[in-house]
């Protein structure tokens, strides 16, 4: 988490720029995907040009449509004259051609094809302008409060803006919300017609554990990247805006991720030491036993799936055991005071992890609660309703 002085510096930059202009070319963020813990952040809330990171949202919309049954992977999308006239990078589709949804997904993931992005936009929204409006609306529902889309490709538009924090959230949510389609981001090569296209995300082959997700570049944005990496039971989401070259951006991302994993592994060592203390023989120092948890609705485990369908939730941690997960969630409710009144402590168990969440908020309440917790040095991430 950023120190207070860095926070005020970034806020000053936000105030100093016009609302529709990018505030800082460079920004970066690394989060623990399981807990929402911020491991690194610089200019994470300043608005920058996303370039082809935009296509992550275009793909999110396509995955939404697939899961809703509006299209299938075999659905053929028609190429308009406008789509065929898009600037590179592109597949050089011709007016009147068709492309399947599956090939369109792979073309965006690997080649970052601008003509294909417009084909998807027109297929789902009628026009690219309408689709961009739909993208922005969906982004707001996910909690991407400082992102505005004006097209589906990321080609230059001074009003198309996002932040490192919003893109980290999108990188997290597209995997969590669409696990059946997320594996497409790990595609290293895509053959279409007589050509084979290599994925622009070179971390897939050069950084252990990388399984996605997307690069981006324009002259105005610099070299951007959102990366998802899993190592040693941990998953990190990293974001870099404004790299000077693709190579320097990738090197910087690897450095940030290395530091993030180091922090998590170091924390593991400390927890192992505490376990050893707890298991110490009689007469040796041992950690105090956990306090008995309060009873009633405030400390009850409930079905998170039903709650997340209609209410905003905030996550404050993830643990290997349910007891400390409940304890931390209850601590969050206590720290929230009136904001936490009548909220429900939830332990969302997934595999070996028990995620601590406080549920039952509306949108404004969830963001206000997170701001309160962060001011008290407690990490927090907001989750929008799944519906």
Quickly count: other Cβ atoms within 10 Å of residue 229's Cβ: 23
- Could you give the dihedral angle defined by the CA atoms of residues 265, 267, 270 and 276, in that order, rounded to the nearest 10 degrees? -70
CB burial string 330-367: b at 16+ within 10 A, e below: bbbbebbeebbeebbbbbbeeeebbbbbbbbbebebbb
What's the Cα-to-Cα distance from 130 to each of 10, 100, 153, 204, rounded to whole Å? Answer: 33, 21, 14, 33
Residue 160 φ/ψ, nearest 5 degrees: -95, 105
Sign of CA dihedral 151, 215, 239, 21: negative
Tokens coding 45: 């809330």
CB burial string 17-27: b at 16+ within 10 A, e below: eeeeebbbbbb
For 31, the enclosing helix (H) or strand (E) is: strand 27-32
Active site residues: 52, 55, 112
Residue 356 φ/ψ, nearest 5 degrees: -85, 115
């Amino acid at each position: 988490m950023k120190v207070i002085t860095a926070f005020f510096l970034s806020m000053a930059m936000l105030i100093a720029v016009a609302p529709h202009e990018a505030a800082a070319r460079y920004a970066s963020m690394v989060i623990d995907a399981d807990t929402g813990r911020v491991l690194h952040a610089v200019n994470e809330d300043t608005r920058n040009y996303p370039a082809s990171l935009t296509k992550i949202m275009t793909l999110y919309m396509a995955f939404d449509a697939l899961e809703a049954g509006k299209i299938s992977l075999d659905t053929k999308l028609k190429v308009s004259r406008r789509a065929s006239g898009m600037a590179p990078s592109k597949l050089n589709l011709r007016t009147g051609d068709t492309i399947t949804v599956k090939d369109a997904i792979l073309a965006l993931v690997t080649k970052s094809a601008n003509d294909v992005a417009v084909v998807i936009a027109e297929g789902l929204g009628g026009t690219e302008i309408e689709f961009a409006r739909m993208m922005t609306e969906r982004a707001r529902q996910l909690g991407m409060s400082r992102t505005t889309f004006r097209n589906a490709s990321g080609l230059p538009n001074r009003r198309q803006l996002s932040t490192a924090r919003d893109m980290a959230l999108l990188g997290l949510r597209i995997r969590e919300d669409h696990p059946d389609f997320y594996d497409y981001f790990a595609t290293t090569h895509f053959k279409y017609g007589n050509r084979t296209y290599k994925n622009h995300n070179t971390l897939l082959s050069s950084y252990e554990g990388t399984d996605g997700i997307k690069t981006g570049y324009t002259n105005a944005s610099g070299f951007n990247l959102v990366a998802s990496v899993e190592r040693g039971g941990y998953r990190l989401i990293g974001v870099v805006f404004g790299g000077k070259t693709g190579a320097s951006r990738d090197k910087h991302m690897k450095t940030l991720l290395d530091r993030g994993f180091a922090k998590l592994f170091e924390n593991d060592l400390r927890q192992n030491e505490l376990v050893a203390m707890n298991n110490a023989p009689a007469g040796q120092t041992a950690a105090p036993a956990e306090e008995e948890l309060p009873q009633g609705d405030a400390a009850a485990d409930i079905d998170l799936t039903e709650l997340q369908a209609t209410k905003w939730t905030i996550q404050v941690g993830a643990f290997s055991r349910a007891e400390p997960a409940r304890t931390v969630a209850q601590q969050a409710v206590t720290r929230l005071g009136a904001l936490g009144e009548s909220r429900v402590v939830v332990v969302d168990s997934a595999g070996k992890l028990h995620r601590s969440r406080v549920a039952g908020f509306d949108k404004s309440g969830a963001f206000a609660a997170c701001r309160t917790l962060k001011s008290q040095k407690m990490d927090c991430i907001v989750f929008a309703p799944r519906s």
